[in-house]
Structure 1
């Protein structure tokens, strides 16, 4: 990424967002949320040096959505022209172990998105992007428990794209 690349991420309240320990959340999850929050802050303030410190040099990337919506990839890599009119607006940040989920929409509220970041030892090593897709996160348990209950425990579901008119995906922890 070149230092002249301009980041265009916007947030309603990200500047004042302080991740705190929530009920059931451990210290690792709080640190991982803080790392991802720092990434969005660095993107908002165009701090390329901090972005480089937070992302692994070889970030594993997975994308689900129309190719025209690869905004984060364009933003972070500069590989193709980034559309400066697209602005990320994060609404919620939640952690489950090493995975941190950020849900939001573009500033026009026409495109919903979910970013699923994996944080390892304070460095972001993976991102999964979902655009205009309903995402449900489940926690897989032992095969014995699954056979007794018949399903997996759902721990999180996207709220912005759950209107039934978008594809739905399940992400297993």
Structure 2
């Protein structure tokens, strides 16, 4: 069945390999062996980067959304300097999905085996406070992906990467009642994954 998807706003195709020193450090044991890992990616020293605000949006959300958009553009154009400005010295990376789909890790670090045919094509970019959610789909492999970026003061400090996973983002009413699911408001859900055949995860704001 062919589904209608939004027109891509960006395309990441060119191989991107950082030639400057990058340090990838495993942070903790996988929650599911071979599927979810936490790493830190160490880049060069960070300079201040102030992206333009978009009219009609909350100031913080517009700034964070613009920062993430600038990252995809920098990756597309192989602009290493801008990537270093946008990434914190230690970028925490979480991954959930088949180990063969750790494309973002390989893209940023040049770790083998890198597949230059894989294209990051963001189909939607939305922001909720410090979190920016980017969703895309690879038609050749029938693979859906979600990037959940955390932006602090214009700098990307964390990314959670999901492949073939139904992701739901909820807003909790208050710390005292976080365990009560009835008080969780769903604010976003991935649309490109086949929710009936893939695992589902919930992210809390």
TM-score normalised by length of structure 2: 0.69
Give the conservation status (yes or no) of the 8 Å contact 1:86–1:106: yes
Considering fraction of residues, name the structure with more helix.
Answer: 1
Give me the CA root mean square deviation.
Answer: 7.6
Q: Evaluate the alpha carbon distance shift between residue 120 and residue 10 of structure 1 in structure 2; reply closer, same or farther with a 3 A threshold.
A: closer
When structure 1 is superposed on structure 2, of 4-13 and 111-120 the one drifting more is 4-13
SS at match of 2:67: helix
Give the conservation status (yes or no) of the 8 Å contact 2:40–2:92: no
Number of matched pairs: 172
1:18 shift after superposition = 15
Q: Deviations over 1:66-113 (max 9, x none)?
A: 100000000001122311011111000000000000000125261100
Q: Give matches, 1:20-169, under 5 Å.
A: 25-108=57-140, 110-142=142-174, 150-169=182-201
Give the conservation status (yes or no) of the 8 Å contact 1:140–1:152: yes
**In 2, distance between residues paired with 1:8 and 1:105?**
25
TM-score normalised by length of structure 1: 0.81
Structure 1 regions of 5+ residues with no counterpart?
none
**In 2, distance between residues paired with 1:15 and 1:90?**
26
Structure 2 regions of 5+ residues with no counterpart?
1-33
Give the conservation status (yes or no) of the 8 Å contact 1:11–1:90: no
Q: Evaluate the alpha carbon distance shift between residue 142 and residue 91 of structure 1 in structure 2; reply closer, same or farther with a 3 A threshold.
A: same
Find runs of 4+ consecutive structure 1 residues off by over 6 angstroms: 2-24, 144-149
